Amino acid sequence: MLIALQNIGEHNNLFLAAVLLYLIAAVIALALTNQHKLCNLVTNSICMVAALIGITAAIIRLSTDAILAPVTILKSQIPFLLLEIKIDHLSAFFVLCLSVLALCVSIYSIGYNAHYYQKRNVGFFNFLYAAFIMSMLMVIISGNAIFFYLSWEAMSLISYFLVIFESEHEENRRAGRLYIIMTHLGTAFLLIGFMIMFAYTHSFDMFGSSELIPETAKNLMFTCFLIGFGTKAGVIPLHIWLPYAHPAAPSNVSALMSGFMIKTAIYGLIRFVLCYLQVEQLWWGAVILCIGVISAVLGVAYTLMEHNIKKLLAFCSVENIGIILIGLGVSFIAAAQNNDFLSSLALVATLLHTFNHALFKGGLFLGAGSLQYATHTKDIEKLGGLIHKMPVTAVLVLCFSLAISAIVPFNGFISEWLIYQALFLNINMGTAGLNILSILSIAALALSGALAAAAFVKLFGISFLGLPRSDHAAQAKEVPIVMNIGMGILAAFCLIIGIFPASFVKLADRVADSILGSSVAETLQPGFLSATVPLTVSGNSIAPGEVLIALTVVILVVLLMLRLFWGKYQARKYGTWDCGFESINARMQYTATGFSKPIRIVLSILYRPGRKVVIEEGESDYFPKSVKYKVWTESIFEKYLYSPVIRVLKSGSEKMIYLVQTGSVHVYLLYIFISILALMFYNRVV
User: Which residues contact other proteins (rule: CB under 8 A)?
Assistant: 661-666, 669-670, 672-673, 676-677, 680-681, 683-684
> For residue 514, what are the CA distances in angstroms to 91, 236, 264, 517, 616?
11, 31, 19, 6, 69
Distance of closest approach, residue 668 Cβ to other proteins, in angstroms: 9
CB of 655 closer than 8 Å to CB of 647: no
Q: How far apart are CA 498 and CA 616, in angstroms?
A: 54
Nearer to other proteins, 117 or 673 (CB): 673
Instruction: Give whole-number Cα distances, 428 to 103, 386, 423, 431, 444, in Å.
Output: 42, 49, 9, 9, 19
Shortest distance (Å) from residue 191 CB to other proteins: 34
The DSSP element (H or E) to which 2 belongs, if any, is strand 2-3
* Residues 318/304, Cβ–Cβ less than 8 Å: no
State how far the alpha carbon of 470 is from the alpha carbons of 37, 197, 380, 391, 458, in Å: 31, 57, 10, 18, 18
Cβ contact 472:463 at 8 Å: no
Q: Which is nearer to other proteins, 571 or 665 (CB)?
A: 665
Residue 30: which of 123, 131, 162 has the closest Cα?
A: 123
Q: What's phi and psi for 334, nearest 5 deg?
A: -65, -35
* Residue among 560 and 676 whose Cβ is closer to other proteins: 676
Q: Please, what is the minimum distance in Å from the beta carbon of residue 673 to other proteins?
A: 5
Residue 590 beta carbon to other proteins: minimum distance, rounded to whole angstroms: 56
Tell me how far, at minimum, the Cβ of 340 lies from other proteins, in Å: 56
Indicate the DSSP class of residue 253.
H
**Of 179, 137, 138, nearest to 161 (Cα)?**
179
Which is closer to other proteins, CB of 615 or CB of 667? 667
609 DSSP β-pair partners: none
Least Å from the CB of residue 665 to other proteins: 5
Q: DSSP string spanning 524-589?
A: S---SSTT-----STT----HHHHHHHHHHHHHHHHHHHHHHH-S------PPP-TTSSS--GGGS
116-143 in b/e burial notation, b at 16+ Cβ within 10 A? beeebbbbebbbbbbbbbbbbbbbbbbb
Tell me, what amino acid is at 676? I
Q: Give the nearer residue to other proteins in terms of CB position, either 432 or 665.
A: 665
Question: Least distance from C-beta 67 to other proteins, angstroms?
Answer: 49
In whole angstroms, how close is the CB of 170 to other proteins at the nearest point?
25
Closest CB to other proteins among residues 550, 677: 677
Pair 108, 369: CB distance under 8 Å: yes
Residue 446, C-beta contacts closer than 8 angstroms, at least 6 positions apart? none
Q: Please report how close the Cβ of residue 655 comes to other proteins at its closest, in angstroms.
A: 15
CB of 682 to other proteins, least distance (A): 10
Taking the least distance from each CB to other proteins, the nearer of 117 and 681 is: 681
CB 45 within 8 Å of CB 28: no
- Least spacing, CB of residue 677 vs other proteins, in Å: 7
Smallest separation (angstroms) from other proteins to the CB of 653: 15
| Smaller CB separation from other proteins, 560 or 669 | 669
Task: Give the H or E element holding residue 611.
Answer: strand 610-616
Give whichever of 640 and 671 is closer to other proteins, judged by the CB atom: 671
Give the whole-angstrom CA distance, residue 432 versus residue 422: 17
The string of DSSP letters for 441-471 reads HHHHHHHHHHHHHHHHHHHHHHHHSSS-SSH
C-beta atoms surrounding 201 within 10 Å: 16
Is 80 or 673 the residue whose CB approaches other proteins more closely?
673
Instruction: Please enumerate in sequence order all residues whose Cβ is within 8 A of that of 569, keeping only pairs 6 or more positions apart, or say none.
Output: 563
Give the closest residue to 137 by CA, choosing from 76, 43, 193, 58. 58
- To other proteins, the closest distance from the beta carbon of 656 in angstroms equals 15
Nearer to other proteins, 556 or 679 (CB): 679
Closest to other proteins by CB, 1 vs 659, is 659
212 versus 677: smaller Cβ distance to other proteins: 677
